[in-house]
Chain A
Amino acid sequence: MNVGRRKALQGTGGAAVLGLAMAAGLFRPGTAWAADWNKAAFDTKSLNDAVKAMGGAGAAESKDITITSPDIAENGAVVPFTIASKVPNTAAIAILVEKNPNILAANFDIPQGTEPWVNTRVKMGQTSNVIALVKTADGKFHYASKEVKVTLGGCGG
C-alpha cells in the first residue's frame, strides 16, 4: 500500500457531501437502493452516526465482545477478523474501520440458532482502530475496539 493509494482512499469529497445531506435528513435511508442494503449506514464516517443509521441511539463499550486479529497486518488489502459476542441476545454483528473513507465494512444478522461468531476479511486504508459493534434483539448497541497497524511490504515499488 503506497502513499498514492492512501490518498486515493481519502479522496471522498462527493461521498462526504452525500453523507452530510443524509445526516440532515434530506434522504431517507434505504429508499432508492436495494431495500435490504442500508446505504445510510454504509455512508457514515463515525461510530455514532453508524449506530444512528442502524436505528440505535448510542453504543456502550462491552467486555463481552472479542476481536481476534493480528495486531499488525502485512497488507491492508486483506485483514482477517474473527468477532465473537457473549452479549445476551446478540442479533447482529458489524465490523467498522475507523479510518476508512466510510466506517462500516460489514454487518451480519445473526438469527437464533446461529452462533454470534463471524470470521471475515476487510480492507484497511491505513493503521486504524477497528470496532466490533453488536446489536441485541431489543435494539441496544454494544462495542469493542482494537488498533490494527497496517504496514508496507516488499520491495515497495
Chain B
Amino acid sequence: MRRIVPAIFMAAAAAAFAQQSNTVQEIEKYRAALGDGNPAELWEARGEAIWKEKRGPKNASLEQCDLGLGAGVVKGAYTVLPKYFKDSDKVEDLESRLVTCMVTLQGFTPEQAKKDPFGGPGKKVAMDALVAYITAESRGMKMSVAATHPKEIEAYELGRKMFFFRGGPHDFACATCHGVDNQRIRLQDLPNLTKQEDARKAYTSWPAYRVSQGEVRSFQWRLYDCFRQQRFPELEFVSPASIALTMYLAKNSNGGTFNAPSIKR
C-alpha cells in the first residue's frame, strides 16, 4: 500500500501547486504588512522600565543582574544563553536567570518570582516585558551559545533526547513536526530544528508578538505551548527539562542573526 501511494499523490500535488503558491504568496504579504509596527515594542518599553525599577523586599532594581556577560550587561546577553552560572551552579536560560536575579537582588522568594510567567487578556506580567526588553537588546547580533562546560554539554545532550521523545495519546515528539525539511502545519512552515539553517531561522525569531493572542510570547512559553499541543502534561516554567531543550535548540542556532521580538500569526 505504502509503495503505490506516492505516484498518485504526485499528480494531485502538481495540480494543487498553482493555487498553493498563490496562497503562500498572499500569506507572505500578510506577514510583511504586519512587520511594520510590531506591538512587541510596547512590551520592550514596559520591560525596560521594570528592569530599572526598584522592586521587591530589598527595594532594588535588576540593573546589576548578570545575564551571562557580566553584571548589568544587557546588550548581546541573549545570544550567549543558556549558559552555566557559577553562582547558582546551574545552566540557566534568560527566564531562569531573571528568576535567580529577582531572588538574589530583589529578595523575592523563588515562588513569587515564578508566579506569573506569562501574560494574558487583561493580565500584564513583568516577566514577558523583561524578556521583550532584554532580547530586543540582542537584535542584529549573532547567536553564540558556548556549551563547553560539562553541565552545558549534558544539558544539550538531554535536550536532544527530549526532542526525539515520543509520548502521550498522540505519539508526538518535537521531531514529529520539527524533524523534517519543508513541511507545513496548516499554512505555517515548520522549521527542521535538527538542521542549522532552520534552527537559526526559528530560534532567532522568538520571542514573538502573537497576533492570535495579542501577547508577546517568550521561548519558555513556546515550549510550554508546544508540549500542551503535543498532549503532554504541563511543562513547568524554568524547569530543568525546559532549559535543556532550550540549550539544544539555542546551540543549534549558533551563528544565526538574532532578530526578535518578531511578530507572528
- Pick the contact of B27 from A1, A69, A70 — CB < 8 Å? A70
- Say whether B229 faces chain A, with CB atoms less than 8 Å apart: yes
Q: How far is the CA of A70 from the CA of B187 in the complex (A)?
A: 14
Interface centre among A1, A72, A79, A152 (most CB of B within 10 A): A72
- Pick the contact of A153 from B33, B187, B228 — CB < 8 Å? B187
Residues in A with CB closer than 8 Å to B30 are 70, 72-74, 79-80
* Contact size range, A: 20 to 34
Taking the closest CB of chain B, its distance from the CB of A151, in whole angstroms, is 6
Q: Please report B residues at the A interface, Cβ cutoff 8 Å.
A: 23, 26-27, 29-31, 33-34, 185-188, 211-214, 228-229, 265
- If the complex has contacts A74-B27, A74-B31, A80-B33, are A154 and B211 also in contact, measured as CB distance less than 8 A? no
A75 touches B212 (CB 8 A): yes
* Interface residues of A, dominant DSSP: loop
Q: Which residue in chain B gives the minimum CB-CB distance to A71?
A: B26
Taking the closest CB of chain B, its distance from the CB of A57, in whole angstroms, is 34
- Say whether A78 faces chain B, with CB atoms less than 8 Å apart: yes
- Pick the contact of B186 from A73, A121, A156 — CB < 8 Å? A156
- Show 9 residue pairs from A and B whose CB-CB distance is below 8 angstroms, ordered by the A residue: A70-B27, A72-B23, A74-B187, A74-B188, A74-B265, A80-B30, A152-B186, A153-B188, A154-B265
A153 touches B186 (CB 8 A): yes
Residues in A with CB closer than 8 Å to B29 are 70-71
- Pick the contact of A80 from B26, B34, B187 — CB < 8 Å? B34
- Say whether A155 faces chain B, with CB atoms less than 8 Å apart: yes
- Say whether A157 faces chain B, with CB atoms less than 8 Å apart: yes
8 A Cβ contacts from A112-157 to B: 121, 151-157
Residues in A with CB closer than 8 Å to B213 are 77
B265 touches A153 (CB 8 A): yes
Taking the closest CB of chain A, its distance from the CB of B184, in whole angstroms, is 10
The list of the 6 closest CB pairs from A to B, nearest first, reads A78-B211, A70-B30, A80-B33, A72-B26, A70-B29, A155-B229
Given contacts A69-B33, A75-B265, 4 further A-B contacts (CB under 8 A): A70-B26, A71-B26, A74-B265, A157-B228
8 A Cβ contacts from A39-94 to B: 69-75, 77-80
Q: How far is the CA of A149 from the CA of B23 in the complex (A)?
A: 10
Residues in A with CB closer than 8 Å to B212 are 1, 75, 77, 153-154
B33 touches A75 (CB 8 A): no
Q: Which residue in chain A gives the minimum CB-CB distance to B27?
A: A74
B27 touches A77 (CB 8 A): no
Q: How far is the CA of A80 from the CA of B214 in the complex (A)?
A: 14
Q: How far is the CA of A75 from the CA of B188 in the complex (A)?
A: 11
Per-position contact with B for A2-24: 1 when CB-CB < 8 Å, else 0? 00000000000000000000000
Taking the closest CB of chain B, its distance from the CB of A100, in whole angstroms, is 17
Residues in B with CB closer than 8 Å to A152 are 186
Residues in B with CB closer than 8 Å to A153 are 186-188, 212, 265
